[in-house]
Each structure stands twice: as structure tokens, then as C-alpha cells.
């Protein structure tokens, strides 16, 4: 049983149960003339200086962060499913899941939500859940691990083959349904597709101790190319655009969440946050690539500056790591907390929205049976 299967098992079991500087104008010599002119002249000079100062600061520092507003307790703006309803919610839309759809979705696409169907016989099928509740199949039967392209116009998937035995990565154009790229047959099946960014499609293969990583650029033919990443622990996430990637490493109980720029040759590390613990870290990256999240210790790290912000959640609450927290936008993070292990029967899961700039969190509702989905 690989790590994803273990996390899925545990999840299903749980379902069953900034102050600005003050500007000051310079002293002005009192001009000669009528006595009320000095006051007016001083006021005009100070006003002009302030206007010029603000204009100058705005031009040289366009990326100065905007102070965080109070966190809203409105309903989440990301898709989520409700187990008891067997339905997907997205804004004011509610879609009942057809039989066999597994309830995990991998992003909004033209025509619905990318997901998978398990029609039986062990043959999984990638496709799109439509707003009317129907399911449009994409790609060959026996495919899984759907991963969207950065522009959301194509989807990559792992296709298991019987003749010849092995697997390949298949890329499907969503609008037409046509196959547009495919790897050669791989005799060792990857554990899954992790992410698709400008460097290519990243694949993970689980080993007896650590995982290995490979990348494949659609259209290049051949097989994915191995990428060496020291002490890689299997977690990898990327911003939808740009080259920022966050990944995890481990040596014994020493674990790190790292971030950097990706290319076909590997990674150039920019930032890391390390701690000690037996659990694996599943990284989360903001849509703009500025922030990464370590859910295990409830901290947010600014990738450029290294600033660490702690999420202001109840001390006893445990953030669920499967499914992971999901960014609603560049600053707002939606997450679910579990009660402590010894209080599962008396307390319930809770749904929160947290502002990653301030760490402030707002309770939205109880979250029993809710699964967060990728927007």
C-alpha cells in the first residue's frame, strides 16, 4: 500500500466516524509680506512634499503588501463535496455525483470539474463532471492521476497497459478529446503524476526508503527523464504559472519543506523550513507562488523573504493533510481541522478560512463529511 492509498484509507475511515511612516515637511523661512501668508505657504509646501513622497514610494515599491483585512466567515469560494449529500458544491451550484464518480476533483475546466469514475472491473476512467450531473469521459479506460496543464486546456493521465505490460503518460486535449502526446511504455509504473508546470509533467515513483522524481515535456517523445533530488520525501507542488515549486525532504525524523525554481535540469533552492517529526509534509503553494504552507506545524512561509507566520487556530486542533488545505486566492487559505484523537466522539471537524499574511483565522462551519477540492 503506497502513501496515497494509506492517506485515502485513513480519510475514508474518518468520514465514517503595517503602520506607514509619518512624513514631516522641512522648516521654511518666513517670507516677507502680509502676516497670514506664512501659514498658507507652509501648508502648501507640506502638501506638495507629501504628494511627491507618496508618488515616489508608490513608484519604487509597487509590490508593497496591502494590510490584511478582517477574515470573512462567508462560505468558501472553492469547490467542495459533502459526503452525506453525495454532491459537489461550487458557489451557488450543487451537482449530485453520478454513480461511480469517486468524489475527488482536480480543478475547474471548461464544461465542469476534472475527476474520475470507477465504473467497476478495476478500470478507472478520467473525465469531466458536468453541471447537469452527467460525466464526459476523457482518454482511455484504465487511466488515473489526472493533472491539468497550466492553461487548463489539456489533461495528463497515467494509462495502465496490459499488452505490452506497463504504463504511459497520455495527454488529452480537453476541447476535442484527442490524444496529443504520449510517452513510450514504462515498465515501472510511476506512483502518480504530481504537477504540470512550465518545466513539464513531474512524476513520482515510490522506492523502499525514499521516492524518486522524473520530468517529461509533452511532445518530446521518449520516457520521462530522472531528476536527482537529494532526500526527496515524495511531496511536490507548484504554482499554476511561473517556475516556483515546493518539495519535501527527509533524513530520519528531520524533515524540510523547501521551495525554489524548477527547470528540466532540476531545482534551484530559494527557501527552506525545517523541523522534526515522523509525519510526512504535504506542501501547499499559493497561486501566485509567493507562499508555502506546512500544515503539520501550522505555519506559512513567505518564499521570498523567509518570514514565518503561524496560523491562529485552536491549540488542540489538528489540520488535516489529506485532502490538503486549498488556497481560495493568493492570500486566503481554506482548511479543515480534526479534533484531538481522544475527543473524536465528542467534537467535530471544523472548516476555517485563514489569511496567510496575518495568520488570522475565522471559523466558517462544522466540516464533518466535507472534502475540499481543487479550484
pLDDT digits (tens, 9 = 90+) for 16-29: 443 344 444 433 33
Residue 347 domain-assigned? yes
Predicted TM-score (pTM) of this structure:
0.81
Q: What is the pLDDT of residue 164?
A: 80
Same domain, 315 and 233: yes
Residue 290: alpha-carbon gap to chain centroid? 12
Residue 68 domain-assigned? no
- Three-state SS across the chain? CCHHHHHHHHHHHHHHCCCCCCCCCCCCCCCCCCCCHHHHHHHHHHHHHHHHHHHHHHHHCCCCCCCCCCCCCCCCCCCEEECCCCEEEECCEEEECCCCECCCCECEECCEEEEEECCCCCCCEEEEECCCCCEEECCCCCEEEEEECCCCCEEEEEEEEECCEEEEEEEEECCCCCEEEECCCECCCCCEEEEEECCEEEEEEECCCCEEEEEECCCCCCCCEEECCCCEEEEEEECCCCCEEEEEEEECCEEEEEEEEEECCEEEEEEEEEEECCCCCCCEECCCCCEEEECCCCEEEECCCCCEEECCCCCCCEECCCCCCEECCCCEEEEEEECCHHHCCCCCCEEEEEECCCCCEEEEEECCCEEECEC
User: What is the maximum span of the chain, computed from C-alpha positions, in angstroms?
Assistant: 100
Across residues 135-164, what is the average pLDDT?
95
Cβ count near 2 (within 10 Å)? 13
Confidence class of residue 226 from pLDDT cuts 50, 70 and 90? very high
Q: What is the pLDDT of residue 210?
A: 75
Across residues 128-143, what is the average pLDDT?
97
Range of the domain at 165: 77-193
Q: What is the pLDDT of residue 68?
A: 65
- Show the CA angle centred on residue 320, arms to residues 130 and 151, nearest 5°: 40
Q: What is the pLDDT of residue 14?
A: 52
Q: What is the pLDDT of residue 206?
A: 87
Contact at 8 Å (CB) between 194 and 204? yes
Give the count of domains, the chain: 2
Same domain, 82 and 185: yes
State the cell numbers at 364. 466558517
Q: What is the pLDDT of residue 36?
A: 37
Give the tens place of pLDDT for each residue, 297-324: 999 999 999 999 999 999 988 999 888 9
Q: What is the pLDDT of residue 340?
A: 76
Task: Indicate if the pLDDT at residue 67 is higher than 90.
Answer: no
Same domain, 244 and 188: no
Q: Which of 289, 349, 359 is nearest to 322 (CA)?
A: 349
Same domain, 350 and 267: yes
Same domain, 183 and 256: no
Residue 25 domain-assigned? no
Report the alpha-carbon distance of residue 38 to residue 359 in Å, rounded.
48
Residue 93 domain-assigned? yes
Domain boundary among 145, 170, 193: 193
Same domain, 178 and 248: no
Same domain, 248 and 180: no
Same domain, 185 and 115: yes
Task: Indicate if the pLDDT at residue 126 is higher than 80.
Answer: yes
Domain boundary among 147, 176, 193: 193
Report the alpha-carbon distance of residue 299 to residue 319 in Å, rounded.
11
Confidence class of residue 266 from pLDDT cuts 50, 70 and 90? confident
Across residues 341-357, what is the average pLDDT?
82
Across residues 263-287, what is the average pLDDT?
91
Residue 204 domain-assigned? no
Residue 166 domain-assigned? yes
Q: What is the pLDDT of residue 52?
A: 36
Q: What is the pLDDT of residue 345?
A: 60
Domain boundary among 147, 167, 193: 193
State the cell numbers at 165. 505490460
Cβ count near 322 (within 10 Å)? 16
Same domain, 159 and 256: no
Task: Indicate if the pLDDT at residue 59 is higher than 80.
Answer: no
Q: What is the pLDDT of residue 241?
A: 82
Confidence class of residue 123 from pLDDT cuts 50, 70 and 90? confident
Residue 121: how many CA atoms within 13 Å on its side-chain side?
A: 6
Contact at 8 Å (CB) between 117 and 137? yes
Domain CATH code at residue 265? 2.130.10.10
Convert 336-356 to b/e letters by CB count within 10 Å (16 or more is b).
Answer: bbbbeeeeeeeeebbbbbbbb
Across residues 28-45, what is the average pLDDT?
37
Same domain, 286 and 185: no
Residue 349 domain-assigned? yes
Residue 36 domain-assigned? no
Cα dihedral sign, 206-207-211-214: negative
Same domain, 233 and 368: yes
Choose the weakest-confidence range: 35-49, 65-79, 254-268.
35-49
Same domain, 117 and 251: no
Amino acid at each position: 500500500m503506497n502513501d496515497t492509498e494509506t492517506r485515502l484509507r485513513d480519510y475514508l475511515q474518518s468520514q465514517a466516524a503595517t503602520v506607514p511612516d509619518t512624513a514631516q515637511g522641512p522648516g521654511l523661512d518666513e517670507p516677507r509680506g502680509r502676516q497670514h501668508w506664512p501659514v498658507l505657504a507652509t501648508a502648501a509646501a507640506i502638501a506638495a512634499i507629501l504628494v511627491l513622497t507618496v508618488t515616489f514610494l508608490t513608484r519604487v515599491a509597487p509590490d508593497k503588501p496591502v494590510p490584511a483585512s478582517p477574515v470573512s466567515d462567508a462560505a468558501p469560494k472553492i469547490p467542495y463535496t459533502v459526503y452525506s449529500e453525495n454532491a459537489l458544491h461550487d458557489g451557488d451550484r450543487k451537482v449530485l455525483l453520478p454513480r461511480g464518480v469517486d468524489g475527488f476533483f482536480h480543478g475547474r475546466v471548461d464544461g465542469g470539474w476534472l475527476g474520475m469514475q470507477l465504473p467497476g472491473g478495476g478500470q478507472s476512467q478520467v473525465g469531466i463532471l458536468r453541471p447537469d450531473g452527467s460525466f464526459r469521459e476523457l482518454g482511455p479506460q484504465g487511466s488515473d492521476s489526472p493533472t491539468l496543464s497550466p492553461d487548463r486546456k489539456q489533461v495528463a493521465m497515467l494509462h495502465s497497459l496490459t499488452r505490452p505490460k506497463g504504463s504511459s503518460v497520455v495527454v488529452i486535449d480537453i476541447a476535442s478529446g484527442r490524444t496529443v502526446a504520449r510517452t513510450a511504455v514504462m515498465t515501472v509504473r510511476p506512483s502518480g503524476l504530481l504537477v504540470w508546470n512550465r518545466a513539464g509533467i513531474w512524476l513520482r515513483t515510490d522506492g523502499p526508503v525514499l521516492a524518486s522524481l522524473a520530468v517529461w515535456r509533452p511532445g518530446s517523445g521518449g520516457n520521462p527523464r530522472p531528476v536527482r533530488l537529494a532526500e526527496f520525501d515524495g511531496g511536490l507542488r507548484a504554482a499554476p504559472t511561473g517556475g516556483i515549486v515546493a518539495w519535501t525532504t527527509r533524513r530520519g525524523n528531520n524533515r524540510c519543506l523547501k521551495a525554489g525554481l524548477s527547470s528540466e535540469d532540476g531545482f534551484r533552492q530559494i527557501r527552506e523550513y525545517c523541523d522534526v517529526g515522523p509525519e510526512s509534509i504535504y506542501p501547499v503553494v499559493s497561486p501566485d507562488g509567493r507562499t508555502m504552507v506546512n500544515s503539520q506545524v501550522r505555519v506559512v512561509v513567505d518564499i521570498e523573504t523567509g518570514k514565518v507566520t503561524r496560523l491562529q487556530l485552536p491549540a488542540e486542533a489538528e489540520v488535516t493533510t489529506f485532502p490538503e488545505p486549498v488556497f481560495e486566492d493568493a492570500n486566503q487559505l481554506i482548511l479543515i481541522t480534526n479534533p484531538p484523537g481522544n475527543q473524536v466522539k465528542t467534537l467535530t471537524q471544523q472548516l476555517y478560512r485563514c489569511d496567510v499574511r496575518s495568520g488570522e483565522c475565522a471559523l466558517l462551519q462544522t466540516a464533518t463529511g466535507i472534502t475540499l477540492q481543487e479550484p
